[in-house]
Amino acid sequence: MLKKFDLFLNKRALYFLVVACIVFLGLYLRLNWSLKFYGAGRQWLPDEYYYYVSTAENALKGKGFLPAFNDMPFSRGGIFVPAPLQCLFILAVYYIFGLNPFIVKIIQILFSIIAIIFCAEIGRRLVSGFAGIVFAFLFAIYPEFVFWTEILQTESNFLSMLVLLLFLLILWAKEGNTRIALYASIVLGLLCLQRGNALLMGPCLAITALLYFRNKRGIVSAIVFSFFPFCIIAPWLIRNMIVYGEPVIISSHQGIMLYISNNIHLKPLQEPYAEIVNVLEYQNKDYPYLVPEIEEKCRVYDEKKANICRDLKVSWFAYSRAYNKVFLSYIVQHPVHFIKNLALKTYNQFWLIQNVTRIAVGFFRSESVFAVLHRGILFGGLMGFIIMLVWLKNRKIYIITVMFFYFILTGALFLLTLDGRYNLYLKLFLMLYCAGGCSLFFSFAWNKFRRQLKL
């Protein structure tokens, strides 16, 4: 008995030692990238500053919780409301430490490092310690995950909170503990305030809870998943109703982004990236993706050059809502075209490689090396997905699968960007499946080898 206990301690000690090494590797890669990028005296990226940083700066200076988005070309005139949580995060750090962007990035990096530890625990609790180590290692070194820790947009903190949510859901799936469901719902509410693509996750988890636990626990968990995230979102919605008189749930431009990514003119294989078809970057109202009636109603055009766009006459919410109606009518009128394009965009988000972010890790700056990593995670993840579903057959893997398909669908609703921000979260799940599949496969192969040796 004592020998077994000593062996257990040694295994646990080795596991924690390896995880600690991975954590330090992840910290080194992130700090190295941030110091190189920040030390180069870089300017703010447009989305980074005009959405989030400027909102925090204006709030700190007493100018209101408002972005400088309307100072951008093609964006003037209409009131714009960004997703609030990243702005509040920057504002809180500015308030405590002063106007020092580098401190904000350091704290964002620390959140990412904590996520590495949670990745290890997710893999360990779901499959094995080996799976946890592989999952944490992939999360630590993946160039896209490293890249976004330097950028003060929503991606890095959303990714860190998503890892925490997955950890809590794995704990909840074991017995349906209501208190853990409450913690997960709070994290989910914060995820919604970080990015709007998490909005429908609560109802999905509520349905899953009812199917998993067909008893009182399932009903209570379903109520918690449905109700508490909305309680987190509600103050922001009420604030926007009071300040602007408009029911902005998260941000102002979700409708226009859905229309850009889903319309009758779109050809996903030929035009896979939002930068190619982004109507917001075009001034010409004759551009095929724009709807002339909406543009005439919502924008002011140059009197001498009637087709050249100037400023919005309405808020971004009103402008976006008009395009949201066109998006919904497109689904009703062309359902086959919509579903076909959804399938093509799903293919794009899995297969296409966004090379912009690979520069964050020196070893993967070679396009061919990064392609090997990307394809390896893709094929390993898809194989691991099948192996884990067939082999494990428990609530933990099923809840991960529900989340995986949720992000496949929400990711496919939007077009890819060259920096890969819209399919970033799929790679997290592929890494987990890859790690779990490798662990199960090697465990099976090793046990079979040992049995043959005994024979």
Contact present, 102 and 38 (Cβ < 8 Å): yes
For residue 234, being part of any structural domain is answered with yes
Q: Are residues 425 and 437 in the same domain?
A: yes
**Amino acid making up residue 333:** Q
Q: What is the chain's percent helix, strand, coil content, to nearest 5? A: 75, 0, 25
The sign of the torsion formed by the CA atoms of 430, 436, 439, 441 equals negative
Q: In terms of domains, do 178 and 238 share one?
A: yes
Residue 168 lies in a domain: yes
C-alpha closest to that of 316 among 280, 364, 355: 280
Residues in contact with 69: Cβ distance below 8 Å, sequence separation at least 6, in sequence order: 50, 51, 54, 75, 80, 82, 316
116 belongs to a structural domain: yes
Q: At what angle do helices 101-126 and 129-141 cross, to 10 degrees?
A: 150
The verdict on residue 39 lying in a domain is yes
Same domain? For 370 and 316 the reply is: no
At 164 the pLDDT is 98
Both 273 and 219 in one domain: the answer is no
Tokens of 147: 């890249």
Which domain range does residue 323 map to?
253-333
Judge if 314 and 211 occupy the same domain. no
| Cα–Cα distance, 251 to 351 (Å, whole number) | 29
For 6, the token pair is: 């000593």
Q: Are residues 68 and 158 in the same domain?
A: yes
Residue 377 contacts residue 138 (beta carbons within 8 Å): yes
Do 356 and 315 fall within a single domain? no
Nearest-CA neighbor of 424 among 204, 165, 157? Answer: 157
Question: Which pLDDT score is estimated for 452?
Answer: 80
Dihedral over alpha carbons 328, 329, 334, 337 (to 10 degrees): -40
Tens place of pLDDT for every residue, the chain, 455 residues? Answer: 434 444 454 578 889 999 999 999 999 999 999 988 766 567 788 789 888 999 999 999 998 898 987 666 555 667 889 999 999 999 999 999 998 899 999 999 999 999 999 999 999 999 999 999 999 999 999 999 999 999 999 999 999 999 999 999 999 998 888 999 999 999 999 999 999 999 999 999 999 999 988 888 899 999 999 999 999 999 999 999 999 899 999 998 888 889 989 999 899 999 899 877 766 655 555 667 788 888 888 877 666 555 555 678 888 899 999 999 999 999 999 999 999 999 999 999 999 998 888 989 988 988 899 999 999 999 999 999 999 999 888 889 999 999 999 999 999 999 898 888 888 999 999 999 999 999 999 888 888 887 887 75
* Pick from 384, 305, 323: nearest CA to 128: 384
The residue out of 333, 361, 381 marking a domain boundary is 333
Tell me whether residue 161 is in a domain. yes
Same domain? 246 vs 376:
yes
Domain count, the chain: 2
State whether 80 and 224 are in the same domain: yes
Residues facing 308 on adjacent strands = 284
Predicted pLDDT of residue 96 = 95
Q: How far apart are the first and last CA of the chain?
A: 27
Which of 302, 333, 364 terminates a domain? The answer is 333
Q: Is 54 within the bounds of a domain? A: yes
